[in-house]
Amino acid sequence: MQDKKTILRHFIENIFRGLFWLLPIAAVTFIVFWLYGKIDAATHKIFEFIGIEIDGQSFLWILLTLVILMVVLYVLGTIVNTKIVLLFETLFSKIPGYSTIKDIINVFNSSKKGDTKVLVVIIKGFGSVGYNIGLMYSQKESILKEHYTVTLSQSPIPNGGFMFEIHKSNIYVIESATFDNNLQYLLSMGVKSMSEILKIEPKVIDELLPLEKWLEDNKN
């Protein structure tokens, strides 16, 4: 009986793990296609209103819609940190679940800045020898003074992992690496080294930027 409960619990846990891994991808995909459809419909109406014939030019029409979509996303990206957007976020944060979904989606955002920028880092101290490559989803100090949270993801499917509170003296930043580079590294199961992915020469540990120096350079 106990074995059946353990199997059922394992099955349910994996279902939810898969769901929360898929949710950000599905949400972003849905929003992009929804926005594309709205822009496509609006542009059709505008062209028809001014009397421009659009039949038989499907390729050019799709290209035009994609260009408009890119412009709209660029404008949104430009104003994302303005007070107007912050006001909307404050209003939406009252909706149950919004903040959780936003945080999950932000995990996949490699363009974040400031103390929420995703850093690819090397840490020492997890094993008795050697180093580990992990991610810092935030550079906010842990509950332990001068310690910061580093996540080591599983390979090849990074839908789980471990979180460690590491002293800043044991964290080194791989400045040229991004979240996407780390994902490639995990999916390759080490077949491709990080230096191959980044197309750079291997470095000695002293050539990497210590987290303490990174924090000083980016404190403003």
Q: Report, as an integer, the average pLDDT of 135-149.
A: 91
Per the structure block, which two tokens stand in for 204?
A: 């000695």
Domain that holds residue 43: 2-106
Final residue of a structural domain among 75, 106, 137: 106
- pTM over 0.75? The answer is no
Burial class (CB in 10 A: 0-12, 13-18, 19+), 173: buried
Q: Which residues pair with 147 in a beta bridge?
A: 167
19 lies in the same domain as 102: yes
Band of pLDDT at residue 187, cut at 50, 70 and 90:
confident
Question: What are 10-69's pLDDT values in tens digits?
Answer: 777 677 667 666 776 777 788 778 888 888 788 777 777 777 666 656 677 778 778 888
102 lies in the same domain as 76: yes
**Which DSSP category does 220 fall into?**
-
Final residue of a structural domain among 106, 122, 137: 106
